[in-house]
Structure 1
Amino acid sequence: MLIATLMPLLSRYSLGFDLVAGPDDTVTLTIIPRKAEGTGSAPETGETRPIAITARAAEIDTELARGTDGALGQLIAARRGLADQIAGQRQAADAARQATAEAAKAKAASATPRAAVSASVVQPAPTSPPADARPGEPASLF
C-alpha cells in the first residue's frame, strides 16, 4: 500500500525513506523527495521538504491503506497541485518576458531618429563662499 500511495510522488521525484524506532512502540517514517533523474527543471524547495509521520506501526499502516483519502495522499495531492501552479506561473512569466522583448524590438525598429538638440550653455556653480560667510561656521541658506 505504501508504494501505491506514493505513485504520484514517484512520477515527479526520486524518493528516499528513513525509518526510526521511537519510544513506546512508535515509528517515524520520513519520506524525502529528491530531483528525479531525467527531469529538466529542479523542484522548488517547498516540493522537496521531507514528509515525516510518527505513530505506531499499525496506525501508519492504517493511514497508508486509506490511499488518496488519507493524510499522506492528501498532502501528496496538495504538493502536486502547488507544483503545477508554480509551473504554470513560470510559463506565463516566460511568455510575458518574450512578448515584452518582442514589443521592445518592434518599437526600437520603428522609432524615427529625433532631431539633434542644440546644446545650451550652463553656468557653473559659484565655488567661492558668500560675502557674509564667517570662518568656522556653516553658510546660512537664509
Structure 2
Amino acid sequence: MLITSLLPLLTHYSLGFDLVAGPDETVTLTILPRKVAGATHNPQAAEARPISITANAAEIDAELERGADGALGQLIASRKTLADQIAQQREADEAAKTAAAQAATAKSTAIKPSAPTTPIKAPAPTSPPADATPAEPASLW
C-alpha cells in the first residue's frame, strides 16, 4: 500500500525513504522528495520538504491503507496541486516575458527620430583682439 499511496508523488519526484525506530515501539517514516534525473522541473524548497510520519508500525500501516483519504494521501494531493500551480505560474511568467519582449521590439521599431540626424555645429571660437594683453582682459566693446 505504501507504493500505491506514493504514486502521485512519483510522477513529479524521485523519492528517498528513511525509517528510524524510536522509543516505545514507534517508527518514524521520512519521505524525501528529490528532482527526477533528467527532468527539466526543479522542485522549489516547499515542494522538496521531507514528509515525516511518527507512530507505531500498525498506525502507520493503517494510515497508509486509507490511501487518498489518509493524512499522507491528502498531503500528497496538496503537494501535487501546489506543484501544478507552480508549473502553471512559470508558464504564465514565460508567456508574459515573451509578450513584453515582443511589445518592446514593436515599440522600438515604431519610434522615428524627430530631430535632424546631422549634428548642430558649435560656433568656432574666436581669437582675442590683437590689442589684448595678458594683464588686461579684452573689452567686449
State the TM-score bracket (shorter-chain normalisation): 0.7 to 0.9
Deviations 1:42-92 (A, max 9, x none): 111111100000000000000000000000000000000011111111111
User: What is the alpha-carbon distance in structure 1 between the residues aligned to residue 41 and residue 5 of structure 2?
Assistant: 24
Q: Secondary structure at the match of 1:81?
A: helix
Structure number with greater Rg is: 2
Spell out the pairing of 1:1-142 with structure 2 (5 A cutoff).
1-115=1-115
Q: Secondary structure at the match of 2:30?
A: strand
Could you state the TM-score of these two structures normalised by the residue count of structure 2?
0.81
Structure 1 position 114, deviation (Å): 2.4
RMSD: 1.5
User: What is the alpha-carbon distance in structure 1 between the residues aligned to residue 89 and residue 14 of structure 2?
Assistant: 24
Unaligned runs of 5+ in 1: 119-142
Structure 1 position 26, deviation (Å): 0.3
* Fraction of identical pairs, as percent: 64
Structure 1 position 115, deviation (Å): 1.4
Could you state the TM-score of these two structures normalised by the residue count of structure 1?
0.80
Q: Secondary structure at the match of 1:64?
A: helix
Structure 1 position 41, deviation (Å): 2.1
Q: Secondary structure at the match of 1:103?
A: helix
Q: Output the amino acid matched with 2:91.
A: Q
What residue is the counterpart of 2:125 in the other structure? none
User: What is the alpha-carbon distance in structure 1 between the residues aligned to residue 20 and residue 114 of structure 2?
Assistant: 74
User: What is the alpha-carbon distance in structure 2 between the residues aligned to residue 23 and residue 14 of structure 1?
Assistant: 30
Unaligned runs of 5+ in 2: 121-141
Runs ≥4 in structure 1, deviation > 2 angstroms? none
